[in-house]
Structure 1
Amino acid sequence: MTPEPAPLTSTQALLARIRADWQQAEPGLDPSPMLTYLLIDRLHATLERQVNLTYASSGLNPATWDLLVTLRRSAPPQGLTPTELAQLTAISGASITNRVSRLLERGLVERQVSEHDRRSSRVRLSAKGRALADELLPRHLENELSIFGVLEASERKVLEALAGKLLGSLEAHTSQDERG
């Protein structure tokens, strides 16, 4: 027995409309790359909104949540340097200082300046920050499990493989462009 097709969503309707419009306006044009990009772009925006539900009520945004869970997951007891945080998160180095300052103001992290080099510091979770991360993490994982629950395990593996392949290609291309 084959499953019923999923109902047409607003994005699916939009993609069908765009395809039909291009067929009419420029019959020889294949709009597939544009449509794939639009689909992934809308998926990203919707995923981000859904995932933000986990921590937004705690006054965190994606960047501060990323810092909090990175410190919870990866930091040794003495903490991580801002450079290490930038390497382990999706946050650019320039934004790390701002994000750490926000978490410092809320008492969620502590910053310790190096005795040997006043320009160097380490950031670690405070007890309050660890408690918040530990409180939100199960909800975050449950939310993500719910998001991807529509997919079979084998479909998730295919999605991960395809997304990884595309991202790897784009990152390699970007690295080549940056090197000149």
Structure 2
Amino acid sequence: MTSTLTNQSQSDTHRAAFDRLLSEMGVTETHGLELLRLIKMCNGAYDTILGEQMRQSSISSPQWRLLSRLLMAEQSGESTLTPTELARSQCLSKNTISAHLRHLEEHGLIERTIDPGDLRAFRIQLSEDGRRLMHESLPVHIHFLNRLSDSLTAAEIEQSEILLGKLHYSLLQWTENNAKVKSA
């Protein structure tokens, strides 16, 4: 705990110095920067914690998320997804998706089939082993993720979900509008 307090104290000192610098430059409103900083810090902490949690497993955290996405698709009536759909849903490059899918296929957790509508493309689905792994690990993993936010009240969790959802929607709208401007 001392290390955490020391890191927080150093972070506060650095933040104050940075705020002074920005103020000298005439920048007084930094909410966009602060939101980005906090989200990145939370993301980094989650990635570190989940990486440690997944070390006992034969798959990485991003690979587990791919299996989760395939399970969700399956449960909603989509038995297969394309690598491009998976890449978009996970915000990963096509090269990264290819490497993850290769690993999952080598471990027998997914199956790759030719897309009957486009013989150049593949469709990805969970294998029986992948489905079994997800049914066994999903409840344990969700419980673990829930424990990571134990310091928040139910109302704080709900408010965080609402605010982050609104921010995400705002970012998607900005991206879409920016793409329209560039193509015009």
User: Do the structures match in fold with TM over 0.5?
Assistant: yes
Pick the TM interval, shorter chain: 0.7 to 0.9
2:12 aligns with 16
Give the 3 Å change call, closer, same or farther, for CA 26–151 of structure 1 in structure 2.
closer
The answer on 1:122 being equivalent to 2:108 is no
Check 1:59–1:31 CA distance in 2 against 1; reply closer, same or farther (3 A cut): farther
**Structure 1 11/178 Cα, relative in aligned 2: closer, same or farther at 3 Å?**
farther
Q: Is the 8 A contact 1:19 1:31 kept in 2?
A: no
* C-alpha distance after superposition, 1:38-84 (max 9, x if no partner): 33321210012223344332132232111111112212585323234
Cα distance per residue 1:113-166 (max 9 Å; x no partner)? 245643132222122212222222122111111011211111011111221222
Taking the aligned partners of 1:24 and 1:114, their CA distance within structure 2 comes to: 57
The aligned counterpart of 1:38 is 37
User: Take 2:141 and 2:9, find their aligned partners in 1: how far apart are those partners?
Assistant: 30
Deviations 1:69-101 (A, max 9, x none): 111221258532323433543434453333211
Task: Tell me whether 1:156 sits opposite 2:160 in the alignment.
Answer: no
Contact 1:52–1:62 under 8 Å retained in 2: yes
Any unmatched runs of 5+ in structure 1? 1-7
Alignment correspondent of 1:61: 60
TM-score for the superposition, normalised by structure 1: 0.78
CA distance in 2 between partners of 1:15 and 1:159 (Å): 23
User: What CA RMSD, in Å, does the superposition of the two structures yield over aligned residues?
Assistant: 2.9
Count how many residue pairs are aligned between Structure 1 and Structure 2: 174
The structure-2 alpha-carbon separation of the partners of 1:97 and 1:110, relative to structure 1 and needing over 3 Å to count, comes to same
- Distance in 2, matches of 1:73 and 1:26, equals 45
Structure 2 vs 1, CA of residues 134 and 156 (structure 1 numbering), >3 Å: closer, same or farther?
same
1:149 alignment partner, SS class: coil
- Alignment-mate amino acid for residue 18 of structure 1: H
Aligned to 2:70: 71
Bigger relative CO (Cα 8 Å, ≥ 6 apart): 1
| Identical columns (%) | 28
| Of 49-58 and 137-146, the range deviating more from structure 2 | 49-58
**Which residue number corresponds to residue 92 of structure 2?**
91
Counterpart of 2:135 in structure 1 is 134
Q: Structure 1 residues 86-95 or 9-18, which shifts more? A: 86-95
Distance 1:112 1:100 in 2: 12
CA contact (8 A) 1:54 1:143 kept: no
Aligned amino acid, residue 15 of structure 1: S
Q: Hey, what does 2:82 align to over in structure 1? A: 81
